[in-house]
């Protein structure tokens, strides 16, 4: 169910790159429409020229004049149907911003079959976007599947995973997110207690919420033993690879994630977790390469850009790291606060303490409007050399059950905290031996 945008009588479908006004199809080049896609998706925000060039021409070096030509053609065509109003405004020497009021909506593909398999694949696609808004859309699809077939265990476990993700993003409270996930899995278990998906989903719940690592491992193993097909087994193995990597068994974790990247190359989350595992193994060059390989397949995946920045910053390639984070911010405006936190961390790593501190102050003064993990604050303060505040934020992350906590045992960013008794005590409270 693709997202479409409406503004000033226009209707724009970014998936098919079609722009219409009423029944008339607007004839524009693919590059012009790709520029429009980025601008409309960031309506009201300035998009830098360099970011537009990187997103629209990812594999080529082009002159800024090419961008100017396509923006000019966009303005010319749009003005024909909008009484001369200019929807695309220029931010002098910086970039462009879309000034019209934009309404987004979802529409079913024309002629799409609404059998459960198709709907579940669409919901899975939204989960791959890894945003609260996409998870809300996945929620609606899973709920529709359950309404049509209350015994659909795959829809129930998919919905449970979605509730868990929305809780992580701060989109749902404890009762609405974790409580709903527990209830869904209990009902699914009554219907089909030997379902591999139920055990795999329950293992994620133990990891992400109650930090019960052994129970998570037991559920995960049981799910793998019950897997009835190769796809479920490989997907379960990928999740087990994530579990191993974050808990410190990097050899097994990397082995399974490498296998998953070969079996599921079109899954951006697999590339994300492979890059993360390589990062935790301190193979920073390999981590950057895995992110880049994933971006070759998914050039507009915001969290692959975000994760590419981590090893690059460790390697001292600060400009490249910041470029990836700027692109991530353009691609996913709703994750802006979290990405700004990552930018502050890169500046701190680069020794630009004042700039990092200003961004940190800006984040703390901004009203809550998106998920911002305590782990990021831990890393920023650690990079600034403020050990006490870093440990405060680490303890807050543990209290909030942020499940990256086990990975801090290996993460290069917190090496300066390891000698502190509070560091070891916090890991111990999370069930991790220091």
pLDDT digits (tens, 9 = 90+) for 95-139: 999 998 888 876 555 444 445 578 888 888 888 889 888 899 899
Which strands sit side by side in the sheet containing 95-98, from one edge to the other?
47-48, 95-98, 88-91
The two beta strands, 47-48 and 88-91, are unpaired
DSSP run (H or E) holding 48: strand 47-48
In degrees and rounded to multiples of 5, residue 209 shows phi and psi of -105, -65
**Class (C level, CATH) for 3-106:** mainly alpha
pTM: 0.84
For the chain, the structural domain boundaries read 3-106
Q: Which residues contact 369 (CB under 8 A, 6 or more apart)?
A: 337
Helix (H, G, I), strand (E, B) or coil at 288: helix
State both tokens at 297: 């397949």
| Closest residue by Cα to residue 1 from 188, 129, 102 | 129
Which strands sit side by side in the sheet containing 24-25, from one edge to the other?
24-25, 18-21, 10-13, 3-7, 103-106
Query: Which pLDDT value is given to residue 182?
Result: 95
Task: State the number of CA atoms in the 13 A half-sphere of 413 facing the CB.
Answer: 30
Q: Which residues contact 221 (CB under 8 A, 6 or more apart)?
A: none
Dist. CA 303–CA 361, nearest whole Å = 24
Dist. CA 346–CA 316, nearest whole Å = 9
Query: Tens digit of pLDDT per residue, the chain (434 long)?
Result: 457 889 888 899 887 788 988 878 888 888 999 999 999 989 889 999 999 998 988 877 778 888 999 999 999 888 888 776 788 999 998 999 999 888 887 655 544 444 557 888 888 888 888 988 889 989 999 998 898 888 899 999 999 999 999 998 888 888 999 999 999 999 999 999 899 999 999 999 999 888 899 999 999 999 999 988 888 888 899 999 999 999 999 999 999 999 999 988 889 999 999 999 999 999 999 999 999 999 998 888 999 999 999 999 999 999 999 999 999 999 998 888 899 999 999 999 999 999 999 998 888 776 544 457 899 999 999 999 999 999 999 999 999 889 899 999 999 999 999 999 999 999 999 999 86
CB 372 within 8 A of CB 181: no
């Amino acid at each position: 169910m693709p997202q479409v945008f409406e503004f000033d009588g226009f209707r724009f479908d970014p998936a098919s790159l079609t722009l219409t006004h009423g029944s008339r199809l607007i004839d524009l080049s693919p590059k012009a429409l790709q520029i429009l896609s980025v601008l409309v998706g960031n309506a009201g925000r300035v998009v830098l020229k360099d970011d537009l060039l990187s997103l629209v021409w990812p594999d080529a070096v082009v002159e800024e004049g090419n961008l100017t030509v396509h923006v000019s053609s966009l303005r010319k065509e749009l003005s024909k149907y909008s009484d001369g109003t200019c929807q695309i405004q220029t931010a002098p020497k910086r970039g462009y911003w879309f000034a019209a009021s934009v309404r987004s909506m979802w529409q079913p593909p024309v002629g799409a079959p609404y059998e459960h398999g198709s709907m579940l694949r669409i919901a899975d696609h939204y989960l791959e976007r890894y945003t609260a808004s996409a998870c809300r859309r996945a929620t609606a699809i899973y709920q529709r599947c359950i309404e049509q077939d209350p015994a659909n265990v795959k829809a129930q476990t998919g919905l449970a995973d979605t509730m868990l993700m929305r809780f992580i993003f701060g989109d749902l409270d404890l009762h609405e997110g974790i409580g709903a996930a527990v209830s869904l899995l209990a009902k699914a278990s009554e219907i089909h207690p030997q379902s591999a998906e139920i055990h795999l989903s329950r293992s994620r719940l133990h990891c992400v919420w109650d930090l019960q690592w052994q129970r998570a491992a037991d559920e995960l193993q049981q799910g793998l033993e019950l897997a009835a097909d190769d796809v479920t087994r490989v997907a379960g193995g990928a999740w087990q690879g994530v579990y191993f990597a974050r808990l410190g068994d990097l050899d097994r974790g990397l082995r399974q994630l490498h296998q998953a990247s070969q079996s599921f190359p079109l899954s951006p989350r697999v590339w994300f977790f492979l890059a993360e595992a390589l990062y935790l193994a301190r193979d920073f060059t390999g981590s950057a390469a895995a992110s880049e390989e994933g971006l070759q397949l998914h050039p507009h995946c915001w969290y692959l850009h975000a994760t590419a920045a981590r090893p690059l910053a460790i390697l001292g390639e600060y400009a490249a790291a910041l470029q990836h984070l700027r692109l991530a911010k353009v691609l996913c405006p709703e994750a802006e606060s979290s990405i700004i936190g990552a930018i502050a961390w890169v500046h701190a790593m680069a020794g630009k303490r004042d700039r990092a501190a200003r961004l940190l102050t800006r984040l703390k003064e901004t009203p809550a409007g998106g998920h911002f993990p305590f782990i990021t604050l831990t890393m920023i303060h650690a990079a600034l050399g403020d050990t006490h505040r870093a440990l405060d934020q680490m303890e807050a992350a543990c209290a909030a059950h942020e499940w990256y906590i086990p990975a801090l045992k290996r993460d290069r960013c917190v090496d300066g905290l390891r000698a502190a008794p509070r560091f070891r005590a916090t890991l111990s409270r999370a069930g991790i031996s220091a």
